[in-house]
């Protein structure tokens, strides 16, 4: 039995304890947001990789609540991708043809400060997904289900198994996609039980890993992902002060490709309230991608995209 739940309970959720662990100087502590509306949730494993007494560490910047978040900024909203207008049932969204997204849980292995779903009205997780399964059953045009959240790997193997077996009974479903950050924060989540579930299902599992900086990745992460035995893709958000330079992105995408994980999307920031300080101008993003094309094989260069509400697909930039 894996100890991943015990490891999750070690996450930093109190800002003072994290500041102590990181040995932050008093003047640096003054920039921290003491009681953020979107709570601190930061795996200890990642905190151990952070440079001590630094607020500019590329891992830490993604998770540390700072006073800058409280500024009101024009053009930033609580639902920048208009999730609310695509709800078919309380936990099923459909934005694009042929696929639907199942909000499996509100729980995440880590709380990214730029999360576009930080204000989503989760209403608690259902014990079953009856309405969602009925909706999927009724629409033969849907061939793929995307398990999202939160993070679908926050569910126990037992709950995931029940859900996967229910989805298998819908004949027109072929693909089962997982959007996850769990292996980055707690690679122990890739249990033997989970691997068995994926081997037994008739659906083709595909894993899309969210990772933004090469420092997040190490041998344990790659070993866990390899155990999945499924196609592996990655998606990255372009973030000011984290990865908005050619060297950082090149190192990340090359490292992923070298371990059999193909960079899929580089996302322009979704303009969610509290995240304005992460935004990188689109023109700079285009320049970065153009530079990467000169230095990396084509399969290691992701598509630079923006989610524009009510467009039939992601918008390439």
Angle, vertex CA 156, rays to CA 205 and CA 90, nearest 5: 75
Do residues 92 and 100 touch, judged by C-beta distance below 8 A?
yes
Do residues 147 and 194 touch, judged by C-beta distance below 8 A?
no
2 pLDDT higher than 70 = no
For residues 184-212, give the mean pLDDT: 97
Residues 279, 282, 285, 289, Cα dihedral to 10°: 150
Q: What is the mean pLDDT of the chain?
A: 94
Indicate if 192 and 251 belong to the same structural domain: yes
Residue 305 lies in a domain: yes
Q: Give residue 84's pLDDT.
A: 75
Q: CA–CA separation, 2 vs 189, rounded Å? A: 7
Nearest CA-CA partner of 163 in 198, 123, 139: 198
Confidence of residue 311 (pLDDT cuts 50, 70, 90): confident
Indicate if 219 and 162 belong to the same structural domain: yes
22 pLDDT higher than 90 = yes
Confidence of residue 191 (pLDDT cuts 50, 70, 90): very high
Indicate if 108 and 53 belong to the same structural domain: no
Q: Give residue 125's pLDDT.
A: 58
Residue 286 lies in a domain: yes
Q: Give residue 124's pLDDT.
A: 61
Tally of structural domains, the chain: 2
Q: Which of 123-137, 151-165, 176-190 has the lowest mean pLDDT?
A: 123-137
Angle, vertex CA 179, rays to CA 310 and CA 223, nearest 5: 155
3 pLDDT higher than 70 = yes
Indicate if 56 and 163 belong to the same structural domain: no
48 pLDDT higher than 50 = yes
For residues 10-39, give the mean pLDDT: 96
Helix (H) or strand (E) holding 144: strand 144-148
DSSP 268: P
Confidence of residue 78 (pLDDT cuts 50, 70, 90): confident
55 pLDDT higher than 90 = yes
Q: CA–CA separation, 257 vs 218, rounded Å? A: 14
For residues 122-136, give the mean pLDDT: 82
Q: Give residue 83's pLDDT.
A: 73
Helix (H) or strand (E) holding 305: strand 303-306
Q: CA–CA separation, 52 vs 74, rounded Å? A: 34
**Which are the contacts of 59, defined by CB distance < 8 A and separation ≥ 6?**
46, 49, 50, 213, 215, 216
For residues 39-65, give the mean pLDDT: 97
Indicate if 65 and 154 belong to the same structural domain: no
Q: What are the pLDDT digits (tens) for 250-273?
A: 999 999 999 999 999 999 999 999
**Structural domain range at position 60:** 4-70
Residue 77 lies in a domain: no
Residue 55 lies in a domain: yes
1 pLDDT higher than 50 = no
235 pLDDT higher than 80 = yes
């Amino acid at each position: 039995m894996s100890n991943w739940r015990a490891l999750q309970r070690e996450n930093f959720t109190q800002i003072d304890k994290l500041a102590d662990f990181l040995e932050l100087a008093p003047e640096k502590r003054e920039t921290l947001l003491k009681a953020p509306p979107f709570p601190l949730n930061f795996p200890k494993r990642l905190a151990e990789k952070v440079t001590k007494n630094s607020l500019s560490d590329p891992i830490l910047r993604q998770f540390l609540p700072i006073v800058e978040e409280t500024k009101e900024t024009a053009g930033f909203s609580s639902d920048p991708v208009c999730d609310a207008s695509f709800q078919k049932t309380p936990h099923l969204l459909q934005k694009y043809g042929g696929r639907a997204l199942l909000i499996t849980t509100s729980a995440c292995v880590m709380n990214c400060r730029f999360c576009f779903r930080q204000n989503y009205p989760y209403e608690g997780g259902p014990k079953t997904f009856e309405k969602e399964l009925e909706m999927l059953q009724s629409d033969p045009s849907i061939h793929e289900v995307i398990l999202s959240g939160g993070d679908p790997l926050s569910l126990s193997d037992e709950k995931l198994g029940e859900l996967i077996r229910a989805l298998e009974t819908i004949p027109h479903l072929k693909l089962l996609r997982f959007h996850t950050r769990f292996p980055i924060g707690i690679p122990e989540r890739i249990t033997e039980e989970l691997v068995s579930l994926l081997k037994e299902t008739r659906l083709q599992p595909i894993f899309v890993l969210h990772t933004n900086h090469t420092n997040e990745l190490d041998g344990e992460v790659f070993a866990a992902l390899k155990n999945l035995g499924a196609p592996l893709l990655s998606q990255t958000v372009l973030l000011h002060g984290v990865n908005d330079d050619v060297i950082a992105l090149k190192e990340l995408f090359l490292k992923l490709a070298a371990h059999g994980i193909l960079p899929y999307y580089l996302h322009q920031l979704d303009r969610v309230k509290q995240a304005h300080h992460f935004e990188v101008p689109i023109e700079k993003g285009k320049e970065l991608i153009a530079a990467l094309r000169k230095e990396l094989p084509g399969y290691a260069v992701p598509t630079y995209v923006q989610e524009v509400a009510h467009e039939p697909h992601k918008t390439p930039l």
